Amino acid sequence: MSQTASTTLYAQAKAERLPLVTCRYTEGEMQVALLRADLRWLGRLHDQPHWLLLAKEVRQRWQGPLTVMAIERQDPDEQALLEQALGELQQATIRLEQGQGL
């Protein structure tokens, strides 16, 4: 049993079922990290022949889900993070349309 579980008022059987490890990031934080990783990856592929197609796919993949998550989130900090990520995606889209790298 973990130290935290031993100091709670949980019954012994319930305390033994507590997870040893818990998430350190919210779903929104994880998705933003994945988006940023995709954008960095695309930035390294800018000279590749099919880069434009890949960039459009990434933009389409992220736009809808990030928008929905930003609308649905109750936590103001996470909502702000998601809105910031949408702004980053928008800036990447503008650069894409101008023929620049991400």
Structure confidence at residue 30 (pLDDT)? 94
Rg (CA), the chain: 20
Q: CA-to-CA distance for 34 and 28, rounded, in angstroms?
A: 10
Question: For residue range 26-82, what is the model confidence (pLDDT) as tens digits?
Answer: 899 999 999 999 999 988 888 888 888 888 899 999 999 999 999 998 899 999 999
Chain Cα centroid distance, residue 9: 35
pTM metric for this prediction: 0.72
Question: Which token pair is 72?
Answer: 């649905």
Q: CA-to-CA distance for 93 and 76, rounded, in angstroms?
A: 25
Question: For residue range 13-29, what is the model confidence (pLDDT) as tens digits?
Answer: 666 777 777 778 889 99
Structure confidence at residue 10 (pLDDT)? 55
Question: Which token pair is 73?
Answer: 């989130």
